[in-house]
Amino acid sequence: MLSRTADHLYWMSRYVERAESLARLLEIGHRLAIMPGEDDRNEWSSTVIITRCAEDFYNSYDEANEANVTEFIGLRNDHPASIPVCLENARTNGRAVRVALTTSMWECLNSTWIDLPAQRQKAESASNIVDYLDWVKERSMQFTGATTSTMLRRDAYFFVMIGMLLERADNTASLLDVKYHLLLPDHEEIGGTLDFYQWSAILRAVTANRAYYSLYRGALKPWQIVEMLTLRSEVPRSLVGCLGGVIDYLGRLSDMYGERKESLRIANALYADLAYCRTDDVFKQGLHEFLTDFVRRNNELGEQIQRDYLI
């Protein structure tokens, strides 16, 4: 397969996944914003930090508030942390390799792109923003569904899945890190009401609240939420869950090509560290440090995959 083809496939699914994740991130902000509380809250500025485009943001806006952040992520199209930009990039990448996609995949990407302007316009009124975010998530899930149910299990499919899972792992780490940047006001206790709401919003944003109750039963406990989204392999958006998929597909690629590359070694090392990590270790290291370290290694893995296969 041409490296360029694989590169387009890989980025196509990364962008679809990123659009979904940005929608989930905005959803956390909106959930937190409707919670009762004081004026000194900062859910919107933490949202901006997580996009990694804070500089772009503060070039255009003075203040991180609901209206500005929603516009920035949901509607604008002049920076990389924008949902419309991600959906457009996904479609552009897919279009370049249309014959490598199934009709269902292409139709999904293309009709998403066609419907985008109308959806975006609707979302300009604040009351519709949740519908818009639901639409983005739905389109992404339809794309994943089309991919897994129609694509031949060969190298093209492996590249699509590797891109999707790497991006998803990165996004889960970022979403969890929201909690680090969400400072609790002085008079709020750790384990207090606001703390509880914040954790609960994160759980809901990754659609894992039911999963939580079936894994842990009982009330929400922050360390269990962290454990679940990082170290539990049954959870499809957990770090270890995503990396398990990545090593699986990289392994199948190696079998198909008859050659083991450096990226497979790096991926296995990262997976093993997660698989044998204890929840205590995460907190000993510090959640933020643990997540930052993971994101860095996940990025390095992405770069190595790029060098091994995509250029």
Binding site for other proteins (CB under 8 A): 1-4, 6, 155, 159, 257, 259, 309-311
Please say which residue, 25 or 266, places its beta carbon nearer to other proteins: 266
Residue number with CB closer to other proteins (138 or 259) = 259
CB of 154 to other proteins, least distance (A): 11
Task: Report the nearest approach of other proteins to the CB of residue 139 (Å).
Answer: 28
Give min distance, CB of 110 to other proteins, in A. Answer: 20
Residue 284: both structure tokens together: 């000993």
What is the rounded distance in angstroms from the CA atom of residue 250 to the CA atom of residue 239?
Answer: 16
**Could you write out the DSSP letters of every residue in 195-231?**
HHHHHHHHHHHTT-HHHHHHHH-SS--HHHHHHHHHH
Q: Please, which residue, 5 or 200, has the CB nearer to other proteins? A: 5
Q: What is the 3-class SS of 78-92, one letter each residue?
A: CCCCCHHHHHHHHHH
- CB nearer to other proteins: give 223 or 257: 257
Of 11 and 212, the one with the shorter C-beta distance to other proteins is 11
CB of 2 to other proteins, least distance (A): 5
Asked if residue 240 lies in contact with residue 265, where contact means CB atoms within 8 angstroms, the answer is: no
Minimum distance of other proteins from residue 267's CB (angstroms): 16
Cα gap 121→142, rounded to integer Å: 22
Instruction: Kindly state the smallest distance separating residue 26's Cβ from other proteins, in Å.
Output: 35
What Rg value do the Cα atoms of the chain yield, rounded? 19
Helix (H, G, I), strand (E, B) or coil at 35: coil
- The amino acid that residue 171 corresponds to is N
Neighbours of 83 (CB within 10 A): 27
Query: How far is it, in rounded angstroms, from Cα 22 to Cα 149?
Result: 25
Nearer to other proteins, 44 or 159 (CB): 159
